[in-house]
Amino acid sequence: MANPNFTPSWPLYKDADGVYVSALPIKAIKYANDGSANAEFDGPYADQYMSAQTVAVFKPEVGGYLFRSQYGELLYMSKAAFEAKYTSASGSVTNAETADKLSTARTITLTGAVTGSTSFDGSANVTIATTQGS
């Protein structure tokens, strides 16, 4: 059974410099009397509160993108500006893009019903040849 309290993470986007942000296009905006607003999105995403200051500074519009910067700030860009700067990165973020080779190789050893070992330094995949244990 699905967890009714689960809210998925916002999709990832990245710019030409490899900076990642989480963003969603705004479906609707509901304004409050105090100048703040709630942005609504398509899909299973929770509404996002925007303070009166955020609304006054960015003047968000339906179709534009709310996004969390690499520093966690809630920001806004128009659809045209956002799509010119960022491309979808969902599903493509992996440690392999930024991983370094281990400074000291590690030995992986199997014992028990099967035995075997190999050395791993992170530069390539490894396999372990196994033999039946005692």
CA distances from 3 to 8, 19, 24, 97 (A): 11, 31, 22, 32
Q: What is the pLDDT of residue 55?
A: 97
59 shares its domain with 82? yes
> Which has the higher per-residue pLDDT, 55 or 111?
55
The verdict on residue 7 lying in a domain is: no
83: exposed, middle or buried (Cβ count in 10 Å: 0-12, 13-18, 19+): middle
Residues 17, 78, single domain; the answer is yes
pLDDT tens digit sequence for 4-31? 666 678 999 999 998 999 999 999 999 9
| Residues 48, 26 share a domain | yes
Count the domains in the chain: 2
The pLDDT, as a whole number, for residue 92 is 46
| 19, 81: one domain | yes
- The least confident of 58-67, 76-85, 86-95, 113-122 is 86-95
| pLDDT of 32 over the 80 cut | yes
Expressed as residue numbers, the domain containing 119 is: 100-132
Report the share of the chain in percent with pLDDT over 90: 54
Pairwise CA distance, residues 133 & 115, whole Å: 6
What is the pLDDT, as a whole number, of residue 2?
Answer: 54
